[in-house]
Amino acid sequence: MKQAGCPLCESPGGDLVFQGAAFRVIRTDEGGFPAFYRVVWNEHVPELSDLAPADRALCLDAVVAVEQSLRAHLHPAKVNLATLGNMVPHLHWHVIARFEWDSHFPAPVWAAARREAPPAQLARVAALRPLLAADMVRQLSTLAPANPRR
């Protein structure tokens, strides 16, 4: 069910990395964070607990798959996971690789910036993104049914 006026009902919400029947994964360009992904549940539901247990498990498996790809390919200092949705109450998970050199570390990405991220580091991560995306697709394809479920 689509919600009129909801940006995540009306558009992918970023560069589409993987489109599944129940969820999609997008990459978003957020300044000093070169590996900022989102797992977006396709259906418009506000809260994680609105999902039935099997869907919740699938959604979290997708989040974990993205996290595992980030860890395997980028070796970040930390992975940050969050679903807030105060502005856009359509279930989406931020899955963010964090680096000591990023614009905010160790502060949350929503706090004030502490520095400019070094362009060479940003470029190094950007160069790894195609391989990273291929790995995400490979992992997510094993989770998500090829045929629409709904």
Which residues bind to a copy of itself, rule: CB under 8 A?
Answer: 46-49, 56-57, 60, 63-64, 67-68, 71, 77-87, 89, 98, 105-108, 110-112
User: Is the Cβ of residue 82 or residue 127 nearer to a copy of itself in the bound state?
Assistant: 82
CA nearest neighbour of 22 among 80, 91, 81, 87: 91
Q: What is the closest distance, in whole angstroms, from the C-beta atom of residue 17 to a copy of itself in the complex?
A: 18
User: Is the Cβ of residue 75 or residue 148 nearer to a copy of itself in the bound state?
Assistant: 75
The C-alpha atoms of residue 107 and residue 98 are separated, in whole angstroms, by 10
The C-alpha atoms of residue 27 and residue 35 are separated, in whole angstroms, by 8
At position 87, the amino acid (one-letter code) is M
The C-alpha atoms of residue 59 and residue 39 are separated, in whole angstroms, by 8
User: Is the Cβ of residue 24 or residue 98 nearer to a copy of itself in the bound state?
Assistant: 98
Instruction: Say if CB 3 and CB 90 are below 8 A apart.
Output: yes
Q: What is the closest distance, in whole angstroms, from the C-beta atom of residue 148 to a copy of itself in the complex?
A: 25
User: Is the Cβ of residue 16 or residue 46 nearer to a copy of itself in the bound state?
Assistant: 46
Q: What is the closest distance, in whole angstroms, from the C-beta atom of residue 84 to a copy of itself in the complex?
A: 5
